[in-house]
Structure 1
Amino acid sequence: MHIESRRVPTARITQNVLTTGTAGGEPVLFVHGNVSSSVFWRETMLALPGGYRPLAVDLRGFGESDPAPIDATRGLRDFSDDVLALVDALDLSGVHLVGWSMGGGVVLQALRDRPSAVRSVTLVNPVSPYGFGGTHGPDGTLNHPDGAGGGGGTANPEFVRLLAAGDRSADSPLSPRSVLRATYVKPGTVLDPEDEDVFVESMLTTRIGEDNYPGDAVPSDAWPGTAPGRRGVLNTMAPTYLRLDDLHTVDPKPPVLWVRGDSDVIVSDTSMLDLAHLGALGIVPGSPGTPAQPMVTQTRTVLRRYGNFTEVVLDCGHSPHVERPEEFRAALADHLKRS
C-alpha cells in the first residue's frame, strides 16, 4: 500500500485527505493536532489491519486544506464541523475517529454534536475538555471570568516568528525542529532523521495570523495580562469557549480509547506550556499563585462521567503513535476490533 493525497470539496471548505487507496472496510479517520498535519499519521495508516479504510485529514489552516478563518467563539466547532462535513462528502458511515492533541478535542466535539455518526473514538494525548490554560481543579473552574491565561496571547512570539519564517534549523530552542524534539516527543527521544524532516515540514504548513495560528488576544487585568480573543487556533481551546464536560449526555455512547504518554510535557497536570505552571516555577514572573491546570485529571473526570472508556498509558511523551508505534497500533487495533 502507499499513501495518496486528494482534495475533497465539502459543504464548508475543500479539505486535503490522505488515503491508502483502500475503498472498502470500516472508515478510520485520523485528526492531527496543533502545528502539524495529516502526515504525522502516515505510518499508522499503513500499519492498520485489513478490513479498515484509513483516512487522515488536514484541518483548516494546516497542511494542504483551505486556510479558512477560524471563529474561535465556537470553540473547536469550525474544525469539528469541517470533519463532519468531510464524513458527509465521502458518505462515511459508522466512522472510527482518532484524534491527537487538539485533534482529540475536535473528535470529542464531533461526538458531542453527532454521536450517531461515530462508531468509536480514540484520544491520543487530547487537549482537556476544558481547553488549554486558564482553569484549575478537576471540573475546570475558571481562574478569571475572562479566561486569562488561555488563548492566542499565550503563544511564544519567538516560536511564532520562526514558524512564519520557515526555520528548519535547530539553532534556536524555539525553532520548530527544537520544539518538536523537546515537546512533541519525550525529551531525549531521537527520531529517524528523515521522519524528523517530514514532521518539521508538516509543522511549517501552519498558516500564521490572527485568523489562524496563534489567533488574536486581548489584554487582561488578571495575571498573566492576556485573555482569549475571538479568532484563530489557540482561542478555540480557550476555557471561555471550549467546554466538553457534558459528554455523558450523548446517546449513543460509542467506546472511547484514551492513549497517553506518561512523560507528556504539553498535556499534563504540570504542563510546561501552561502559564500558570510556569508562573509557579518562577519562569513567568508575577504569578499570584494560580495553580497549574490539571489537564489529565480533567480528562479523566469527564471520561469517568461518560463511562464507556479505556485508558492506556505508554512510556513516551506527547506522540505515542510516533514514539511507541507498535504498542499504540496494538491498542488501537484491539479497540477497533471490539467496537
Structure 2
Amino acid sequence: MHVTTRGPADGPAVLLIHGNCSSSGYWEPLLRHLPQDWRIVAPDLRGYGESPALGVDATRGVRDFADDIAPLLAGFARKPVVVGHSLGGGVAMQLLLDHPESIAALVLEAPVSPYGFGGTRDLDGTPTTPDFAGTGGGSANPDFVRLLAAKDRGTEEQASPRNVMRAFYVADPAAFGDDEELLLDTMLSTAVGDDQYPGTGSTSDHWPGVGPGDRGVLNTLSPRWLNLSGIVDLPVKPPITWIRGDQDAIVSDASFFDLAQLGKLGLVPGWPGEEACPPQPMIGQTRAVLTAYGPYTEIVYEGCGHSPHVERAEDFAAELARVVAAA
C-alpha cells in the first residue's frame, strides 16, 4: 500500500481515508491548513493512487479496504482521529466496528449511508427489492467507465471524468482553483475493471433490470453486502462528527447517482413510481443511525457540495482541529 505521511511520529494523530475515484492526493487542499506538528497518515486504497489493484471481494462489504488500513492504527503513538470521505466514510465506520478501542474520534465527511448506496426505501434501510436492483456495479455509467479507463482529461463528452468532477464533486467548480489538475490526477488514478471499479453487475427482474455483482468497488457499497448500522451497538463509542454540504449531489436524499432518483426525474425510463421504488433517504438514514449511536455532531455547510474539505478547507481544518484537541 502506498501511504503518505507527514509530521512527527509522536504528534496528534490523524488518519485520512479518501473516497471513491480519488486517492490520498485528494486531501492536498486540506493539508495546507493543518498544523505541521500533527502526525498525518493518508493511504491510497487498493486500486487507487499508487497502491496496487489487488481486486475487491464485494461480499465482504468494505472490509477489504478496512483490513488493509487496520494495521496503520497500531503505527500511531496515540489513538488517531479517523477522517473518512464518501466511500472512505464507510471504510471508517467499518474500522470503528472492528477496532473501536483503537480510534479516538471519527470525522465522517459526506459519508455513504450506513445502509449502503441505493436500493433501500426508508430510515431503517429496508430493501426496495429482494435482489437489491439498481445498486452495485450494474448501476455504473458505461461512458464514464470507458473515459475513466482511457484517462480522458477533456470536456468534449458529457460523462468525461473532468466534467463529472466539476459537476458532482463540488457545488461550484471554481472551488478547485489551481488544484483542478492535481485533483483530476487522483480521479484518473482509479484502476478500472471487474475486480476494481466499477465491478461486476447482474441482471434483475425488477426495475431497472440491473443489480449488484460480487466483485469490485461499487458492489462493496450495495446494501446487498454493506450494512454498517451495527455501530449503534458498540460497547465503546468514540465521538463522531458528521460534516456535509447542503448541495451534495452524490450523497443526499435526492442523489443524482441513485437510479431511483434518476427514474423519478425521467432520466431512466420505466420507473415504477414512488411507492414501488422511492429514492434512498441517505441523509435521513445516516442521521437515524448516528442518533441511535449517541455521541455525534452534525455540521452542514451552506452552498457546499460533496467535498467540504476542498470547498471549505479552512472551516473544515478548524473543525478537525477542534476534534483533535478534544481527543
Instruction: Give 3-state SS (helix, strand or coil) of 2:129's partner.
Output: coil
Per-residue CA shift, 1:201-232, capped at 9, x if unaligned? 11111000000000001100011111110000
For residue 47 of structure 2, the aligned residue among 46, 61, 64 is 61
1:213 to 1:33, Cα distance in 2 relative to 1, 3 A: same
CA drift of 1:93 comes to 3.9
Structure 1 position 86 matched with structure 2 position 72? yes
Match of 2:310 in 1: 322
Instruction: Give 3-state SS (helix, strand or coil) of 1:25's partner.
Output: coil
Q: How many residues align?
A: 323
For residue 296 of structure 1, the aligned residue among 277, 283, 293 is 283
Instruction: Give 3-state SS (helix, strand or coil) of 2:48's partner.
Output: coil
Q: Is the 8 A contact 2:17 2:85 kept in 1?
A: yes
Q: Is the 8 A contact 1:254 1:308 kept in 2?
A: yes
Instruction: Give 3-state SS (helix, strand or coil) of 1:203's partner.
Output: helix
Instruction: Give 3-state SS (helix, strand or coil) of 2:30's partner.
Output: helix
Q: Is the 8 A contact 2:14 2:39 kept in 1?
A: yes
Match of 1:10 in 2: none
Percent identity between the two aligned chains: 52
Q: Which runs of 4+ in 1 moved over 4 A?
A: none
Instruction: Give 3-state SS (helix, strand or coil) of 1:162's partner.
Output: helix
Q: Can you give the 5+ residue segments of structure 1 that lack an aligned partner in the other structure?
A: 1-14
Match of 1:225 in 2: 209
Structure 1 position 72 matched with structure 2 position 49? no
1:297 to 1:308, Cα distance in 2 relative to 1, 3 A: same
Alpha-carbon separation, structure 1, partners of 2:235 and 2:170: 35
* RMSD between aligned residues: 1.2
Higher relative strand content: 1
For residue 93 of structure 2, the aligned residue among 108, 111, 118 is 108
CA drift of 1:78 comes to 0.4
Structure 1 position 331 matched with structure 2 position 316? no
Q: Is the 8 A contact 1:48 1:54 kept in 2?
A: no
CA drift of 1:326 comes to 1.1
TM-score scaled by length of structure 2: 0.96
* Higher relative contact order, structure no. (Cα contacts within 8 Å, ≥ 6 residues apart): 2
Alpha-carbon separation, structure 1, partners of 2:292 and 2:95: 18
1:268 to 1:252, Cα distance in 2 relative to 1, 3 A: same
CA drift of 1:328 comes to 1.0
Alpha-carbon separation, structure 2, partners of 1:42 and 1:189: 16
Match of 2:239 in 1: 255
Q: Is the 8 A contact 2:204 2:210 kept in 1?
A: yes
CA drift of 1:20 comes to 2.0
CA drift of 1:252 comes to 1.1
TM-score scaled by length of structure 1: 0.93
